[in-house]
Amino acid sequence: MKRVIYSGAGLLLIALAFLVFNGLSGMLFTNARLDLTEQKLYTISEGTERILDGLQTPIELHFFYSDETAKELVALRNYARRVEEMLRAYQRASGGKLKLHVIDPQPFSEEEDRAAEFGLQAVPLNQGGDKVYFGLAGTNAEGSTQIIPFFPLDQEEFLEYEISRLVQGLAAGELPVVGVLSGLQLTGGFDMRTQQATPPWMVLEEVRQLFHIESLRRDVDLIPTNVSVLLLIHPKDLPEQTLYAIDQFVLRGGKLLAFVDPHSEADPGMGIGPGEFGEERASDLEPLFKAWGVRMVPQRALADAAYAMSVGMGAERRPVRHAGWLSLPRGALDQDDVTTAALENITVASAGILEPLEGATTRFTPLFSSSEYSMPVEAERFATLDNPETLLLGLEPTGERYTLAARIQGPAKTAFPNGIEGREKGIQESQSINVIAVADTDLLSDRMWVQVQDFFGQRIPQPWADNGAFVINALDNLSGTDALISVRSRGRFTRPFVVVETLQRQAENRFREKEEVLQQRLADTEQKLAELQSPDPEQALELTAEQEQALRQFMQEKVRIRKELREVRYQLNADIEALGRTLKFANIALVPLVLTLGVLALWLWRRRRSA
Amino acid sequence: MSQLPVIFKRELASYFATPLAYVFIVIFLVLSGVFTFYLGGFYERGQADLTPFFSFHTWLYLFLVPAIAMRLWAEERKSGSIELLMTLPITRFEAVGGKFLAAWVFAGIALLLTFPMVITVNYLGEPDNGVIAAGYLGSWLLAGAFLAIGSCMSALAKNQVIAFILSVAVCFLFIVSGLPMVLDALAWAPQWLIDAVASLSFLIRFDSISKGVIDLRDLLYFVTLIVAWLAATAVVVDLKKAA
């Protein structure tokens, strides 16, 4: 035996044993994994288990994956294996209520027709026309279907959520009804400014996948009884009958998710260019809010230096921080409320301020709050704001943290104690109303939270903020289906360099004032120059010697100020670059240097000892 | 295996007896830093994770690890000390295992000396340290796999340079076996063979570990790969002794 092992045959034996063992382990240990990620991104979560526990009727899942065709695509193959394993984990956890079929649809086969029937997308691989199916279709006992047309490879962290959402959709039988009353063109429309058709907002598409949407007209006089949550967006000058309908809906136990805004940038307004009045783009729910013990501070929007977002200013201009466009981090979101607890960040633009009224009977729980470095500004300023930097310049933090979104719960009375004209008195009060109010509508628009990628005609959302998740969370929570929430908000999109951001903020504060002073001096100098260069026509055309002297001085002054200004601009990033250099040094050269010195010292010591 | 610790200690000490080991560590640290910051754009990316750091390890090891491994056996053979080693009352496996473990621990020390990277990301932001730990484990296993191959190649060749070139070549095969260009060439083969070849790739196994999930299959892959190549080393040492 020993002779066989220590021979060429032994080598072959070793290779074979290795291959066979790994082939077997690939088949046997499909579910033994240690998930070291902070949010257990690769493990079935409790929320999913709850959804699976709640299954009443059997669900069949058909996982279509063109195994044969995807031969050479290792990344896809690996991901497909992962999806399949996840689905098998679902099947195991469901206790037999969920059945999985794995299908490799061959070209021109019955299975391929089946996949197409479900509405799955085949993605062409190459010029030759090979197509890969990599999607999921689920059916329930009632025969309704839900699909994931294609699993995008770069969104592994949302895999569980997507599958759970599909299962949930099938389990619920009938989807909860969300009534949508919107003053913005959520369903897409025509943009007068760009002269182009606009696609439907992604947030609506997301809502549509989990809820049945019922569109309501702005003059509706009764919210239909089948509506369980009313999604009210940008209510601008609603007729009294509509306000009354909302009032009665909320008092009779209907749930409301309202988005109001002192200045909605998504609202095209009446005019075409910038410079119109802000009020046209404002919306409020004033009489109803008052009855519920809350108000949105009128005509005021919030500027916040700490949460200001960097916005691009077009080609060849450096991005500037916009104190009205805020990226609210975890710390700004209520960690105790199920709708916001697990979110990472929410972005808002020219948001308003919500406040509880004195003597309110309801409970006011802030969901989004500003930082202490914020202050209210005229909402109108946003309408004419050319340079967002001016906002930061004039910012004098009040030290107060303002509320941008809140949950309002508790006993409330009607806003229409006498009813309205032509209608009899309705419900007068409720033991507990359930409202979530958000003082910004822009967070709903695509550009604030999601990039939509066109993937062979399929619109694939790639969120970079949690705005969409918040809306769905809020609707889920209000409509009473919140098992999915814990699954949804597990992905963490970004882990930014906090220190660098702070440095940037400090540098900006430090140099802003200096820049302002220099800009002012430059403007003065330029004005004086202009005065000198265009002399009064009544005076002589020739410049006097003193005037020429002054002209030259001003010219020099201008050049100098411009140089200083450039310096200041350059300085802005100097600290950040310096930190970068220090870190590069620490990581590339520090340890090698210390090691080298240590070795040298050791060598010298040894030599001296032996000498 | 009672003699294994003895061999291990002797070998590990021998690394630090010459300045070569320090030179190796310094080169590794400098290159990994330069790659992370300049090629990977670590600072400009602004993300508190070590993706740019780990993503170059496979390629860094491809050249550096065979350099550690090449002397394991080739030197013993060239200097003739292998005869002495073989006359000692130790088994082949103790000798092979001890030498390998010493080299592996040495590689681990070099890897641990990249600790400023961990401090850096934790200073700059809030990284997922579980993922980082998994990345280090994956990287160390990867180094072990390279070393085991290098050990076998070193036993095969009498000349260190040839041992180096051979191990670079074999390691390279194990890296690229998951890349489309290789699998394309196998288009004629049955699916199970293609899958088998793809499953041998270091790149894919290392990737999935450094994402933060330690799959038993990936772990077993690296462990059995190391064991298999070490067993092969023992066989080769014995064969060569006979020759």
Domain regions of chain A by residue span: 35-171, 177-267+280-298+351-371+400-479, 498-531+546-610
* Residue among B52, B51, B56, B58 nearest B40 (CA): B52
Q: How far is CA B99 from CA B69, B161, B230, B239, in A?
A: 9, 19, 10, 18
Which residues, other chains included, contact B197 with Cβ-Cβ below 8 Å and sequence gap of 6+? B177, B182, B183, B186, B189
DSSP annotation of B47 reads B
pLDDT value for B231: 93
Q: Between β-strands A403-413 and A363-369, what pairing exists: parallel, antiparallel or unpaired? A: antiparallel
Q: Lowest mean pLDDT: which of A97-106, A381-390, A429-438?
A: A381-390
Higher pLDDT among residues B229 and A454, named by residue: B229
* Residue among B35, B46, B75 nearest B161 (CA): B75
CA angle B118, B119, B120 (to 5 degrees): 90
Alpha helices in A68-157 (DSSP H): 74-93, 110-118
Q: Is A197 on the interface with B (CB under 8 A)?
A: no
Buried b (16+ CB within 10 A) or exposed e, B96-117: bbbbbbbbbebbeebbebbebb
Do the beta carbons of residue B60 and residue B33 sit within 8 Å?
no
Q: Lowest mean pLDDT: which of A266-280, A495-509, A536-550?
A: A266-280
What is the residue-averaged pLDDT of chain A?
84
Query: Taking CB atoms and an 8 Å limit, are A74 and B183 in contact across chains?
Result: yes
Q: Tell me how far apart the alpha carbons of residues B150 and B233 are, in angstroms, rounded to a whole number.
A: 9
Distance from chain centroid for Cα A86? 26
Q: Tell me how far apart the alpha carbons of residues A413 and A431 are, in angstroms, rounded to a whole number.
A: 9
ipTM of this predicted structure: 0.85
Backbone angles phi, psi at A307, to 5 degrees: -100, 10
At residue A5 the predicted structure's pLDDT band, cuts being 50, 70 and 90, is low
pLDDT value for A290: 93
Query: Taking CB atoms and an 8 Å limit, are B180 and A73 in contact across chains?
Result: yes
Burial of A3 (0-12, 13-18, 19+ CB in 10 A): exposed
**How many CA atoms within 13 Å lie on the side-chain side of B129?**
10
Do the beta carbons of residue A278 and residue A379 sit within 8 Å?
yes
Encoded tokens for B178:
């998951």
CATH of domain A35-171: 3.40.30.10
Query: Taking CB atoms and an 8 Å limit, are A17 and B46 in contact across chains?
Result: no
If you average pLDDT over residues A105-127, what whole number do you get? 83
- Chain A residues with CB under 8 Å of B48 CB are 495-498
CB under 8 A, 24+ apart: contacts of A592-595 = A592/B25, A592/B26, A592/B29, A592/B30, A595/B22, A595/B25, A595/B26, A595/B29, A595/B113
pLDDT value for B92: 80
Q: Tell me how far apart the alpha carbons of residues A268 and A189 are, in angstroms, rounded to a whole number.
A: 11
Beta strands in A337-402 (DSSP E): 345-349, 354-356, 363-369, 374-378
At residue B121 the predicted structure's pLDDT band, cuts being 50, 70 and 90, is very high
Residue A286 has pLDDT above 80, yes or no: yes
Do the beta carbons of residue B113 and residue A592 sit within 8 Å?
no
Beta strands in A26-151 (DSSP E): 33-35, 59-65, 98-103, 122-124, 131-140, 145-148
Q: Tell me how far apart the alpha carbons of residues A225 and A210 are, in angstroms, rounded to a whole number.
A: 19
- Count the helix, strand and coil residues of chain B and give each as a percent rounded to the nearest 5: 80, 0, 15
DSSP annotation of A427 reads -
Residue A277 has pLDDT above 50, yes or no: no
Distance from chain centroid for Cα B238? 23
If you average pLDDT over residues A277-295, what whole number do you get? 84
* Residue among B148, B165, B11, B138 nearest B69 (CA): B148
- Chain A residues with CB under 8 Å of B224 CB are 18, 21-22
- Taking only the tens place, the pLDDT of each residue in A460-509 is 788 888 999 999 989 988 887 666 766 765 555 567 788 888 887 777 77
Query: Taking CB atoms and an 8 Å limit, are B213 and A584 in contact across chains?
Result: no
Q: Lowest mean pLDDT: which of A152-166, A281-295, A415-429?
A: A152-166
Q: How far is CA A203 from CA A38, A237, B94, B121, B183, in A?
A: 28, 24, 64, 34, 41
Q: Tell me how far apart the alpha carbons of residues A500 and A509 are, in angstroms, rounded to a whole number.
A: 14
Query: Pick from A6, A10, A591: which is nearest to B29 by CB?
Result: A591
- Taking only the tens place, the pLDDT of each residue in A553-599 is 878 887 888 888 788 777 777 878 888 899 999 999 999 999 889 88
- Chain B residues with CB under 8 Å of A14 CB are 228, 231-232, 235
Do the beta carbons of residue A135 and residue A153 sit within 8 Å?
no
Q: Give B43→chain A minimum CA distance, Å.
A: 7
Query: Taking CB atoms and an 8 Å limit, are A77 and B113 in contact across chains?
Result: no
pLDDT value for B147: 95
Predicted TM-score (pTM) of this structure: 0.67
Q: How far is CA A106 from CA A72, A131, B193, in A?
A: 16, 10, 20
Q: Tell me how far apart the alpha carbons of residues A334 and A356 are, in angstroms, rounded to a whole number.
A: 17
57-76 of A, contacting B, C-beta below 8 A? 67-68, 71-74
Q: For chain B, give every domain's residue range.
A: 3-240
- Chain B residues with CB under 8 Å of A35 CB are 212-213
Query: Taking CB atoms and an 8 Å limit, are B125 and A496 in contact across chains?
Result: yes
- Taking only the tens place, the pLDDT of each residue in A388-418 is 888 888 888 898 999 999 999 989 999 998 8
DSSP notation for A533-593: HS--TTS-SSPPHHHHHHHHHHHHHHHHHHHHHHHHHHHHTHHHHHHHHHHHHIIIIIHHH
Q: Is A601 on the interface with B (CB under 8 A)?
A: no
pLDDT value for A486: 64
Q: Tell me how far apart the alpha carbons of residues B137 and B129 are, in angstroms, rounded to a whole number.
A: 12
Query: Taking CB atoms and an 8 Å limit, are A18 and B224 in contact across chains?
Result: yes
Query: Pick from A5, A6, A22: which is nearest to B221 by CB?
Result: A22
Query: Pick from A33, A71, A595: which is nearest to B25 by CB?
Result: A595
Query: Taking CB atoms and an 8 Å limit, are A499 and B123 in contact across chains?
Result: yes
Q: Tell me how far apart the alpha carbons of residues A139 and B203 are, in angstroms, rounded to a whole number.
A: 38
Q: Between β-strands A212-215 and A308-311, what pairing exists: parallel, antiparallel or unpaired? A: unpaired
Query: Please, what sign has the CA dihedral across residues A551, A552, A557, A558?
Result: positive
Backbone angles phi, psi at A224, to 5 degrees: -55, 150
Residue B170 has pLDDT above 90, yes or no: yes
If you average pLDDT over residues A413-442, what whole number do you get? 89
At residue A278 the predicted structure's pLDDT band, cuts being 50, 70 and 90, is very low
| Highest mean pLDDT pick, A129-143, A265-279, A595-609, B108-122 | B108-122
Query: Taking CB atoms and an 8 Å limit, are B199 and A22 in contact across chains?
Result: yes
Q: Give A37→chain B minimum CA distance, Å.
A: 5
Residue A275 has pLDDT above 50, yes or no: no
At residue A300 the predicted structure's pLDDT band, cuts being 50, 70 and 90, is very high
pLDDT value for A488: 60
Residue A510 has pLDDT above 90, yes or no: no
Beta pairing partners, A261: A283
pLDDT value for A276: 47
Do the beta carbons of residue A326 and residue A351 sit within 8 Å?
yes
Q: Is B190 on the interface with A (CB under 8 A)?
A: no
Q: Tell me how far apart the alpha carbons of residues A589 and B210 are, in angstroms, rounded to a whole number.
A: 25
pLDDT value for A233: 94
- Chain B residues with CB under 8 Å of A34 CB are 213-214
At residue A539 the predicted structure's pLDDT band, cuts being 50, 70 and 90, is low
pLDDT value for B243: 54
Distance from chain centroid for Cα A499? 22
Q: How far is CA B180 from CA A22, A70, A73, A127, A167, in A?
A: 21, 11, 7, 17, 35
If you average pLDDT over residues A12-22, what whole number do you get? 89
Q: Is B20 on the interface with A (CB under 8 A)?
A: no
- Chain A residues with CB under 8 Å of B221 CB are 22, 25
Q: Is B33 on the interface with A (CB under 8 A)?
A: yes
Scanning the structure block, which residue is given the tokens 């895999």?
A159
pLDDT value for A353: 95
CB under 8 A, 24+ apart: contacts of B18-24 = B19/A599, B21/B106, B22/A595, B22/A596, B22/A599, B24/B64, B24/B67, B24/B68, B24/B110
Scanning the structure block, which residue is given the tokens 């279509």?
A64
- Taking only the tens place, the pLDDT of each residue in A73-107 is 777 887 888 888 889 888 888 888 899 999 998 88
Which residues, other chains included, contact A215 with Cβ-Cβ below 8 Å and sequence gap of 6+? A179, A180, A181
Query: Taking CB atoms and an 8 Å limit, are A23 and B196 in contact across chains?
Result: yes
Name the percent of chain A lying above pLDDT 70.
Answer: 90
Q: Give B113→chain A minimum CA distance, Å.
A: 7
Q: Between β-strands A450-455 and A458-463, what pairing exists: parallel, antiparallel or unpaired? A: antiparallel
- Taking only the tens place, the pLDDT of each residue in B50-93 is 988 998 999 999 999 999 888 888 877 777 777 777 777 778 88
- Chain A residues with CB under 8 Å of B213 CB are 33-37, 42
Query: Taking CB atoms and an 8 Å limit, are B183 and A71 in contact across chains?
Result: yes
- Taking only the tens place, the pLDDT of each residue in B26-53 is 999 999 999 999 998 888 888 888 988 9
User: Which chain A residue lies closest to B111 (C-alpha atoms)?
Assistant: A591
